[in-house]
Chains A and B, each alone.
Chain A
């Protein structure tokens, strides 16, 4: 891939001033996503996954959010930094250059407007043409995302659709203007397990069809394994590990990633073992502890010399090519840690 990646996020910080202090929700985030590539962002609730994406989409209320850093969209017409760009400029990129689908399809569609109406509205923002043309395109998209009998159902209302079908509608609406970047914020979390895999499959197909850059936010590592090219693991507002999906799965370089992987049940495992939970709670984003944010929950921090974890925050370092981790543990200790904690 010689082309420049479509999205380049550099040193992005998102903070919310509150009465108790500044909540540092995203902390010095940098990553890139190219067209046709899938980046999975994993981490528990409050780790900054969504906050980062919403900042890229320009969906934070600027009055109540402090955003610094850069996020370049490399458009055909040249790069635009969506963080520093004018509100109106970013608005015109939404739905056109970048789209987003959300966690809960039950509430993400307007209950008072028909499906067709909502799709046509999205289409007509960026296309010339009358309602009939828009409706034709809407039916086409609904067909594409697998809504049966699309020409009839286009006139129905959201409450007449099931959760999975509504998420398909959301996908159709997000893709109706052929965006180059799709951010899917936990698109399957609110759905039945059987429907989850269908929706995931659909998102992958659509990504190929439209050759999009895809950011998939999730806390389901099974989902990640299935679709991701690269993975960012986030903890307490920071990326703690970043690398290829295989690297993260087979050679996790951060105790948090190791913990996450250990907490997944594996079907077909011969000797049954207890699932391992990561002890403790994530730290407050207002008063981050000195040193490593994960230290209090880490089972290996005592192996780092000079109590470095307590005093110095680790930086995101290269462990191997294209694989970064924010941990003081030397590689030899990490190999041991992987083995000890369940032999990933």
Chain B
């Protein structure tokens, strides 16, 4: 197991390095000049060149990458002398538009996205899995049909529709959300009630989509597992139906859901662009979309892209470790 862990960890590290390199490479060959973006239309060439030097863009790309990696570990100064702007480690870069370290921007946005992702995750997992189990147990009965209807609605309603519908016809209509304060970040530690009110509708919107998928997945897994020989063995032993479901069917049926859930959660951590947009939440999704569409803020895009990749890679690792813990066959084979 330790050997397996060491191997997986080094592989994870390698993948993260490769991802960061390729993201860096892509931004280096983009037909946009980050230095030219730093000032307006009336900019003169000397100013651009000065900014290029200040941002560290006047050296070859591999040197830039080296500085970037170094900055991650020891922090980095942008510019020289009195005009120098220091970003402490881990420094992802400097956002010229916002005149701020990218790390600071990310650190501000991350709790918002984390709140969104965690709440939605808990909601969709509990609703999706329990509805899936119910549908499987009551196969072809009205509960199953109702769940199927829910799955159809949930999977076919894109978040930009369900989000707007819920915002307009539920949240605003019944004054459940204050349009002026909407999306204001409140820490759950300071004001849990306000935090909850900020996030409950975005949670529902996101959970609706995912819960539908999980309902369908759980249902088919439970039905399939129920026909396994070892379930018949459990029944032949004299176990009651509740224990058969709890100890035998679900254990096997829900294991694959861990993989799915881990990756979906990690994907959300990278930012839920549409939902954050609709509910005006200042999370990573909005940070990215603003950096892409409005500011052409390459250091920020670079940081959020790498971060999103890291979330997925780390989640993959965690899921594999967890799976080895659940399924003894994986444990021994590894």
Contacts and interface: CB of A to CB of B under 8 A. Distances in A.
- Do A and B assemble together? yes
Interface of A: 57, 59, 88, 91-96, 99-100, 102, 104, 107-114, 121-122, 125-126, 157, 159-160, 170, 173-174
Interface string B218-237: 00000000001110111111
A112 B328 contact: yes
Contact of B233 (A109, A125, A159): A109
B232 to A, nearest CB: 7
Contacts of A94: 235-238
Nearest to A97: B238
A121 B332 CA distance: 23
Given A102-B233, A107-B229, A112 B251 contact: yes
Chain B residues touching A, majority SS: helix
B329 interface: yes
A309 B240 CA distance: 47
B329 A91 contact: no
Given A107-B229, A108-B229, A111-B230, A159 B236 contact: no
B239 interface: yes
A54 B117 CA distance: 48
28 contacts: A59-B235, A59-B236, A88-B240, A91-B238, A93-B238, A94-B237, A99-B236, A102-B233, A102-B236, A107-B228, A108-B232, A110-B234, A110-B251, A111-B327, A111-B328, A112-B251, A112-B326, A112-B327, A112-B328, A125-B238, A126-B238, A157-B328, A157-B329, A159-B329, A160-B332, A170-B233, A173-B233, A173-B237
Contact of A108 (B230, B238, B252, B326): B230
Contacts of A100: 236
Contacts of B252: 110-112
Contacts of A88: 240
Given A59-B235, A95-B237, A96-B238, A102 B229 contact: yes
Contact of A122 (B229, B232, B237): B237
A109 B329 CA distance: 13
A219 to B, nearest CB: 19
Contacts of A96: 238
Contacts of A121: 237, 239, 247
Interface of B: 228-230, 232-240, 247-248, 251-252, 255, 326-329, 332
Nearest to B326: A112
A107 B329 contact: no
A107 B328 contact: no
A108 B231 CA distance: 8
Nearest to B233: A108
Nearest to A58: B235
A327 B230 CA distance: 40
Contacts of A99: 236
B237 A157 contact: no
Given A122-B238, A160-B332, 19 more contacts: A88-B240, A94-B236, A94-B237, A95-B236, A96-B238, A102-B229, A107-B229, A107-B230, A108-B230, A110-B233, A111-B328, A112-B327, A112-B328, A125-B237, A125-B239, A157-B332, A159-B328, A170-B233, A173-B233
Contacts of A91: 238, 240
A210 B247 CA distance: 30
A104 B238 CA distance: 19
A109 B230 contact: yes
Contacts of B329: 111, 157, 159
A94 B232 CA distance: 12
Contacts of A107: 228-230
